[in-house]
Amino acid sequence: MARPRVIEQSDILDAAELVVVRDGAAHLTLDAVATEAGISKASVVYDYKSKQQLINAVIRRRVENEEQRVQAATVELGPVPSPAINGLVAAAAERPRDHARAVAVNLVSALAQDAESRGIIEAVYARMIASVTETADNPRGAILALLALEGLKRLEMHNLHPWSDAERADILRDIGWLIDAEHLRSKGPRAPSGD
């Protein structure tokens, strides 16, 4: 008698990502994921009761993978000033892979339509901003660097503007400059000018 196939959650999430890339998050179904994974729909439903739970599991896995990648880049830097933002900049030196970019772009619609999905990403940014400001020698410069870095990443993620390797390296170096820029040091936000 053949042993029953062990279905790993990672296999289901891999299949879900493939369906999202191929069909878009709006067209993801538990049936399509089961077919892609070569398992029964009941097996998908056992772990993920709904399409939204499956999408949120994909988002959580992507977030965990990215946080691990940033942590590894931070550790590789060794002891540096403002480690959280410098780790984010170091991790950004590697361009996003096509599959990761395609999954992220297709999941954006899920974020717009579901408060729980948005909450996952809001929590990521809250942790990131807190870590950056708490570990920065120059919190204002570090936050400006984070904003610039996120802008670069969004342009790349959505294929809105191609940067050459040289341009990208210059941008990352300039973002690094913001982290410690002396003229950006202050105890609080600047008062608006009266112009």
61-70 pLDDT, tens per residue?
Answer: 999 999 999 9
14 vs 63: CA distance, rounded Å: 14
Exposure string for 3-38, b = 16+ CB within 10 A, e = fewer? eeeebeeebbbbbbbbbbbeeebeebebebbbebbe
The amino acid at 87: G
Burial bucket for residue 101 (CB in 10 Å: 0-12, 13-18, 19+): middle
CB neighbours of 12 closer than 8 A, spacing ≥ 6? 33, 37, 39, 43, 44, 47, 48, 54
117 vs 107: CA distance, rounded Å: 9
28 neighbors 20 (Cβ within 8 angstroms): yes
pLDDT at 192: 43
180 vs 155: CA distance, rounded Å: 24
Backbone torsions φ then ψ of 89, nearest 5 degrees: -65, -45
pLDDT tens digit at each of 195 positions of the chain: 554 556 788 999 999 999 999 998 888 999 999 999 999 999 999 889 999 999 999 999 999 999 999 999 999 999 999 999 999 999 999 988 888 888 888 888 778 888 999 999 999 999 999 999 999 999 999 999 999 999 999 898 888 888 999 999 999 999 999 998 877 666 554 444 444
Under the phi-then-psi rule, with left for phi > 0, alpha for psi from -120 to 50, and beta for the rest, what region is 188? Answer: beta
Report the candidate in 93, 89, 84, 112 with the shortest Cα–Cα distance to residue 24.
Answer: 112
Report the candidate in 111, 112, 146, 145 with the shortest Cα–Cα distance to residue 126.
Answer: 146
pLDDT at 111: 80
Measured over all CA atoms, what is the biggest interatomic distance in the chain, rounded to whole angstroms? 82
